Structure 1
Amino acid sequence: VLIQVNISFEPAKSGCHPNEITELADFINQCEHLTLRGLMAIPAKTADPQLQLQYFEQLQTCFDKLQALYPQVDTLSMGMSNDVEAAIAAGSTMVRIGTDIFGTRT
């Protein structure tokens, strides 16, 4: 299980707030048939590389805290075709680049 985090606090996006991660992780960890693996996020769309990096670094900080509590946590999924460079620079272990492969959706 990857916990989706609404790192940019957009009302139109799903995901828990960063301060809710630990409580949700505790619940997931108690579920017999689930394995907590990490975090994922889709931050606000922006062409500003500094703002992209800022969002991703915030999630990296959350990931580090979660990993300290749950050593099995190994996945930080952040970054898509339009912000993959910033995501990798901030420590992403999984990127989603469908648009670069398949093109934009119609």
Structure 2
Amino acid sequence: MRYTIPKSVKSEIKITKSLYLKDIVIFFAVFFIVSRFDSYIHKILIIPYYIFFLGITLYFLLPSLNNPKKRNYHSYYYFLIKSKVKYHSLDVHAIENEIALNKANIQEVNSIGE
């Protein structure tokens, strides 16, 4: 008997092309929480209240532009839990360094050819 090993154990359940079961569960959970608090909102503001939270929920469920294969709520979660003590240096002069490196390589090639 031959056993096959699955490639991905943590795959998401896809409902349609871009809609996942997890998104639907999160959407209904947010809707439930928002509906529980609508008694604290003035009656004139109920419709804008629901429109606002609908927009926020849809934004958080969209794919993140900065983190591939993650959602916007993952990006905000990572932002909130990141360590404020650690320092990560950024190469702010990347373009200038690349130009200088290319000039040095060209001068080296020219000196070898002479």
Query: TM-score over 0.5 for the alignment?
Result: no
Q: Which has the higher contact order (CA 8 A, sep 6+)?
A: 1
Normalised to the residue count of structure 1, the TM-score between the two structures is 0.27
- The structure in which a higher percent of residues are strand is 1
The structure with more radius of gyration: 2
Greater helix share, 1 or 2? 2
